[in-house]
């Protein structure tokens, strides 16, 4: 097990890269759409589109979404490396959940603060940026941490489209050495270490950077 650790490190690094890039893309898209959804009237057609998107993401397995992109893109004349197919598929999946994270975080602030800010003379835009979002961001940290953990674990599915991430690297070694139990144990250790690191980092952001109070980490949407 000690001998094969260096051979797993490239796959581990790919897992970190794929998860981090996917989360960044999904956060930029999903949180923004979630905030837009929170301030959009229920009958707006945009809400119907976002509801259908969230329903599709939550209602279908991620492996189906990966295969759809992997096999459909070439049919449309789009040639992508499996590495980027994996990133786009993970970001597409994660953004569907993050729409709900953004919407729920904004909704948890309370309409009274919005009305009070308008009464004090702030514009709608100023109220959203200066009053609502700073509070909502603190409430997003815990569910975003959970989402990063989900992405790290979901990245293992990219092995089916030949992305050389941690699970794919471990499978290649175990197939050649027939040491299946040992390689499964090593994978578990690496995945646990990554997820623990993400959780610790998120806790540090909550307490040291944002100064979030007790109970902020308990906010969840899943």
What Rg, from alpha-carbon coordinates, does the chain have?
20
Say what the pLDDT of residue 217 is.
Answer: 41
**Surface-to-core class of residue 6, CB atoms within 10 Å of its CB (0-12 exposed, 13-18 middle, 19+ buried):** exposed
Residue pair 132/139 in contact by the 8 Å Cβ criterion? no
Asked if 95 and 33 touch (Cβ cutoff 8 Å), the reply is yes
Q: What is the DSSP letter of 81?
A: -
Q: Report the pLDDT value the prediction gives residue 214, as an integer from 0 to 100.
A: 42
CB 132 within 8 A of CB 114: yes
User: What is the structure's pLDDT at 222?
Assistant: 40
Q: How many residues does the chain have?
A: 222
Largest CA distance in the chain: 70
Q: Which CATH topology does 5-218 take?
A: MetI-like fold (1.10.3720)
- The pLDDT value given to residue 51: 92
pLDDT for the residue numbered 90:
97
* Amino acid 210: pLDDT: 65
Looking at residue 8, its pLDDT comes to: 94
Residue 211 is predicted with a pLDDT of 64
CB 161 within 8 Å of CB 86: yes
Q: Could you give the CA distance from residue 191 to residue 139 in angstroms, rounded to a whole number?
A: 25
| pLDDT at site 209 | 64
Residue (of 195, 147, 157) closest to 67 by Cα position: 157
- From first to last of its 222 residues, the chain has per-residue pLDDT tens of 888 999 999 999 999 999 999 999 999 999 999 998 988 887 889 999 999 999 999 999 999 999 999 999 899 898 899 999 999 999 999 999 999 999 999 988 877 888 888 888 888 888 888 888 888 988 898 899 999 999 999 999 999 999 999 999 999 999 998 999 999 999 999 999 999 999 998 888 878 766 644 444 444 444
pLDDT at 125 (0 to 100): 86
């Amino acid at each position: 097990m000690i001998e094969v650790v260096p051979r797993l490190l490239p796959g581990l690094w790919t897992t970190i890269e794929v998860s981090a890039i996917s989360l960044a893309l999904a956060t930029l898209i999903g949180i923004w759409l979630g905030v837009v959804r929170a301030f959009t009237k229920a009958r707006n057609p945009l809400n119907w589109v976002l509801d259908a998107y969230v329903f599709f993401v939550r209602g279908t397995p991620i492996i189906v979404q990966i295969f759809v992109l992997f096999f459909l893109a070439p049919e449309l004349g789009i040639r992508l490396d499996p590495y980027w197919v994996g990133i786009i598929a993970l970001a597409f999946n994660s953004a569907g959940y993050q729409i709900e994270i953004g919407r729920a975080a904004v909704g948890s602030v309370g309409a009274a603060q919005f009305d009070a800010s308008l009464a004090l003379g702030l514009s709608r835009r100023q109220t959203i940026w200066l009053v609502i979002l700073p509070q909502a961001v603190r409430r997003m940290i815990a569910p975003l941490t959970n989402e990063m953990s989900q992405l790290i674990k979901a990245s293992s599915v990219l092995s089916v489209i030949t992305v050389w991430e941690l699970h794919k690297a471990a499978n290649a070694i175990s197939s050649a050495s027939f040491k299946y139990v040992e390689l499964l144990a090593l994978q578990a250790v690496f995945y646990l270490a990554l997820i623990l690191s993400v959780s610790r980092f998120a806790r540090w952001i909550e307490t040291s950077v944002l100064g979030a109070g007790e109970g902020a980490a308990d906010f969840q949407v899943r």
